[in-house]
Amino acid sequence: MACGPVVDQRYLKDLEGARRDLASIIQRKNAAPVLLRLAFHDAANYNVTNNTGGVNGSVRLRQELSQPPNKGIEDGVKFCEEVKKKHPRVTYADIIQLAGVLAVELSGGPCIDFVPGRMDTNVADKLNIPNPRGGADHLRRTFYQMGLSDKDIVVLSGAHTLGRARKENSGFNGPFTRNTLKFDNSYFVELMRGETPGLVKFPTDKALVQDPVFRPLVELYARHEGAFFRDYAESHKKLSELGFTPSLHVWRWM
């Protein structure tokens, strides 16, 4: 059963408190990578065909969180639970997606529009998380199910600039870029360089430079960080609203 919030001035005040607490957690605990991954995983289960799943907080549920593709994001859920306890009127879904937005912004990335009002669910979603061992066709099947485009696939992959792969989670071990806490275009720069000692590239990462449609976008973002930031902010907003219809009131963190 879904439970949607009334986005009034009291809710916005509570959400501002949640924002401050999330920002503190990100900065004190270097939590940007895990919170960004958590936000992605809560959104990625959206199915555009039947309008199910999406940004509904289901990733926190044991049945969903315990699935292998979600391994490693438990700390992100704990951080959001900590914020939820202090601001119980704010939905898990809003907290999780706000955490993803702040993870990008506080790591040096672009500002992303955020509209509150997501509803929570108590029913686990069917998983639709990309397999890092997949190729271009796998990426398209996964992201097309969400209603996302080839451009979205490439630009959102740039979020790998934060964090690292861990063997116990993905079977791979190591960072994707040299600074795992800085949001920039270095993921694409490293893709264009090819194999680099000490850095990890998933098969799905390599597919971006091998596919004739994906590669020109990789080249663009490697050359122009501004273009990456512009397109990333647009695609991240889209991801953060999968399965959610915002009100006409557009609210953005300043």
Catalytic residues: 41
Residues paired with 165 in a beta bridge = 174
CB-hemisphere CA count at 13 Å for 196? 19
Residue 191 zone, left/alpha/beta (φ > 0; ψ -120 to 50; rest): alpha
CA dist 102 and 84 (Å) reads 16
Determine contact, residues 55/96, Cβ cutoff 8 Å. yes
Distances (CA, A) of 116 to 38, 48, 185, 242: 17, 21, 28, 13
Tokens of 128: 């639709």
CA dist 155 and 244 (Å) reads 21
Tokens of 177: 């870029």
Based on its alpha-carbon atoms, the radius of gyration of the chain, rounded to whole angstroms, reads: 17
The one-letter code for the residue type at 45 is N
Spatial CB neighbours of 154, under 8 Å, sequence gap ≥ 6: 208, 214, 217, 218, 221
Residues paired with 174 in a beta bridge = 165
Residue 72 per-residue DSSP state: T
